Structure 1
């Protein structure tokens, strides 16, 4: 039991039956531990030890992830981007984005492989920057997750709910996410222009509680003309402060992003972009 407990402890209190076998724990011994309520079976021949810190939101996807390579301990698995990663609607559930139905536990992997029952495997490349770990579960980042929902033709109402939650919780950079979604607009029927995008996907967003980066982005999406107008004035002030003539071409390169930030924040905080 000591070896089992130690191994499970390194996996947030979970162990597969195949891992238990490697440790010399027989099926009869596992059954005895279950009868004694020291472990409880989840799905996919994975057990959770009493006292495990994981609740169901993380325990079940983590169990499914362990079951994709049941003989291997978590420490023996490849780096997340080269391994199986929780994604799509299942990633939304872990991140607390939206309320999408999850008929299967969905993973993304770089190549085809056998998937456990009640799971779905999507083959696609992931970079290290597109993967994070949540309570032991390798999962696509919120940014990548939203893109995957769109690419898999999830209903736009569901995408809007997930996106709104992600922005509201500051899980994504709205400006960067909109830039990436705009490249998918024609293929997946998304409104690409800022006001139309905001109307379709951010209608329920409470701008008053946003982080500063997303407050600015929200103002720029909802009121791009106002931000552009204010930016021209900000540009003149910055250029003059740098010793220029006030013309736009006198603006220092490092101030280009600053002028956008200031203009978007002014529009947001004066109420136009709220």
Structure 2
């Protein structure tokens, strides 16, 4: 197959998938593994991770690794045909979701995806969590399904992430208008005892406790001026 023909066939995917195509998608268009390897050697494609290639002319985004890992979950299906709660796919969550939302400074050396069933990956930096997410638990960032800020914070609290990290993310999310304190308080009560609040189920007390750990409070945060971006 001519290089120009192969690139034209692959462009149906790369133009709509952040510049990327999976090897299974390529095979479905008639571009086999040998051709993909030849295109890579010729400098037309970069291997992002096992089974995922990117056009070298594509813009590299900060979320490229997460996008590639998500594409591989349902490798044959085009990204634009997948529902946010794809039963054969997954949703970026936990530390990965926090990073994609731009919240906190958690160590983020792994890509974490929540899936409805057990999954495995050849990539050692990909980790899976099994959970039945609801539609309200998921949002999209540049077409990539990601757990909402509320769900992300709840997931991290379930993992018992340090309270100061959680509080920092809460503060940043409120300042970015991504989270409401009253809504959060309604959902975090089950973690009160875990974080040292001796009133089981009291989300408001837990929220005050967490924010006090970084020197603020619900009242201060609720009335804090939002910094002007320049």
TM-score, structure 2 normalization: 0.80
CA contact (8 A) 1:58 1:135 kept: no
Q: Is 1:179 aligned to 2:189, yes or no?
A: no
The worse-fitting range, judged by mean Cα deviation, of 161-170 and 100-109 is: 161-170
Distance of 2:143 and 2:187 partners within structure 1: 28
The worse-fitting range, judged by mean Cα deviation, of 143-152 and 41-50 is: 41-50
CA contact (8 A) 2:25 2:77 kept: yes
CA positional deviation for 1:130: 0.9
Work out which of the residue numbers 57, 63, 80 in structure 2 matches 1:58. Answer: 63
CA positional deviation for 1:106: 0.6
Number of the residue aligned with 1:125: 132
Distance of 1:193 and 1:22 partners within structure 2: 51
Number of the residue aligned with 1:107: 113
| Bigger radius of gyration | 1
Q: Describe the superposition over 1:187-228 as per-residue Cα deviations: whole angstroms up to 9, x where unpaired.
A: x22544746633533655889xxxxxxxxxx32xx69xxxxx
Number of the residue aligned with 1:231: none
Distance of 2:60 and 2:135 partners within structure 1: 24
Distance of 1:122 and 1:197 partners within structure 2: 25
| Structure 1: 5+ residue stretches without partners | 208-217, 224-264, 270-274
Distance of 1:18 and 1:7 partners within structure 2: 11
CA contact (8 A) 1:68 1:114 kept: no
Q: For the structure 1 residues 48 and 190, does the alpha-carbon distance in structure 2 shift closer, same or farther, using more than 3 Å as the test? A: farther
Larger helix share, 1 or 2: 1
Q: Describe the superposition over 1:10-48 as per-residue Cα deviations: whole angstroms up to 9, x where unpaired.
A: 212111112112211122322232233322111132111
Distance of 2:65 and 2:59 partners within structure 1: 13
User: Helix, strand or coil for the counterpart of 1:99?
Assistant: coil
Number of the residue aligned with 1:163: 170
Q: Describe the superposition over 1:224-247 as per-residue Cα deviations: whole angstroms up to 9, x where unpaired.
A: xxxxxxxxxxxxxxxxxxxxxxxx
Number of matched pairs: 212
CA contact (8 A) 1:81 1:128 kept: no
CA contact (8 A) 2:164 2:214 kept: no
User: Helix, strand or coil for the counterpart of 1:177?
Assistant: helix
CA contact (8 A) 2:137 2:151 kept: yes
CA contact (8 A) 1:104 1:119 kept: yes
Number of the residue aligned with 1:248: none
Work out which of the residue numbers 30, 40, 48 in structure 2 matches 1:34. Answer: 40
Number of the residue aligned with 2:85: 80
The worse-fitting range, judged by mean Cα deviation, of 69-78 and 7-16 is: 69-78
Q: Is 1:139 aligned to 2:150, yes or no?
A: no
Number of the residue aligned with 2:9: 3
Distance of 1:193 and 1:9 partners within structure 2: 45
